[in-house]
A = this chain, B = another copy of it.
Amino acid sequence: MQKNYTSLSREQLLACKGALEEEYQGYVKKNLKLDMSRGKPAGTQLDLTNGILFTLSNYITEDGIDARNYGGLDGIPEAKRLFSELLNIPKERIIIGGNSSLNLMYDAIVRFELFGTGGHTPWCKLDHVKFLCPSPGYDRHFAICEDMGIEMITIPMKEDGPDMDMVEKLAAEDASVKGIWCVPLYSNPQGICYSDEVVDRLASMKTAAPDFRIMWDNAYGVHHIYEQKSVKDIFKACDAAGNPDRPFYFFSTSKITFPGAGVALVASSPANVAEIKKHMGVQTIGHDKLNQLRTVNYLKNAEGVREHMAKLAAELRPKFDVVLQTLERELGGTGLASWTNPKGGYFVAIDTLNGCAKATVALAKNAGVTLTGAGATFPYKKDPQDRNIRIAPTYPTYEELKTAIELFCVCVKLAGVNKLLEEKA
């Protein structure tokens, strides 16, 4: 257990600062060059999936289509069945895409902008379009809004999901609020899992916009590390609440098989699926069906995915262990940081003292460790309290990660002590 820095005197803090700076300089001298910035799997993790490269012996699909040829706009039946079983989504609600669920999300927003949805005005014809952005959240969701000129409203995250009082109020009062980004299970970056109550409130809340949409990015839907969490069925909740067209569900195998060559899907209500297919059928003749076959041949069925994910979890667990244990050992009780203990997903998120995130990231960078930019997890890259830092433990080796997270803790402490000294000046 570390001392609580927030109760130290100025003199004690100065002494700590001296010791921390010495420790920090020790790391600087090591000439580290480590990248903890992005949620990429390591090569060793990808190696666990190499078998997928050699699974393609057939190219005729169950329904007799030649997967090499044109056609099959919404995906091959065996891929739909696999994901239907895995995610408990009716097959007819699923459209299989290319290698990127982000691309499916972007294109969904493009269609809202250009064509509108459900017969409502295309968003590009409106003066103001706003999106609710639970934050810290996924920077690439926010980048889509920024690209489209959609105004983002930061919604604080609570332990069981977004602040629903605020979400409900904004959605009910402002017809220009058109939707919300959600990563409902093991959220990026905090690893928060939405409670049943949050899902029900999202599904049933009154919205001033008739075309309010939930962008349900279940990116980590089967990415358990310590526990098998689940999230309430958004389709059933929305159907029950009489809002069947509200959710757009996204998923991919990017972090199941290969990030660069996975299979993504979008799922929604029958009306939305028809709308998507109408435009997607103009955009393309079909996505890569051979890669869909490869994926199904390799993963086989829902149980096959779960077995595969257990292997990946075994690879990831030591990395999460060393991060979480080091944080606890070095920062626990210091009063300088708080963090969530994710049970799955790809990230650990740390809150430093207010006003210390940028300084911490800069210190780490100066010592050769690249972290996700401070603020990146907020709309417009602006963390109002400059305190959240996303740690991505997956890419470095265990040894690299161990060093990097130890240095990180020194940086958090040094930035924190500097901040406390400032306040006492």
Contacts and interface: CB of A to CB of B under 8 A. Distances in A.
Contact of A46 (B69, B124, B125): B69
Contact of A282 (B147, B258, B288): B147
A59 to B, nearest CB: 8
Interface stretch (A24-32, A35-43, A151-159): A35-43
Contact of A285 (B46, B147, B259, B288): B259
A258 B290 contact: yes
Contacts of A43: 66, 69
Give the number of copies in the complex. 2
Interface in A74-100: 98-100
A53 to B, nearest CB: 6
A57 to B, nearest CB: 9
Max chain B C-beta neighbours (<10 A), residue from A56, A66, A69: A69
A284 interface: yes
A290 B103 CA distance: 18
A55 to B, nearest CB: 11
B140 A282 contact: yes
Nearest to A258: B68
Max chain B C-beta neighbours (<10 A), residue from A106, A146, A261: A261
Given A40-B70, A41-B69, A290-B260, A283 B46 contact: no
Nearest to A259: B70
Given A68-B261, A70-B38, A114 B103 contact: no
Interface of A: 38, 40-41, 43, 46, 49, 53, 56, 59, 66-72, 98-100, 102-103, 106-107, 110, 113-114, 122, 124-125, 140, 143-144, 146-148, 254, 258-261, 279, 282-291
9 contacts: A46-B68, A67-B260, A68-B259, A69-B260, A72-B260, A113-B114, A114-B114, A146-B282, A261-B291
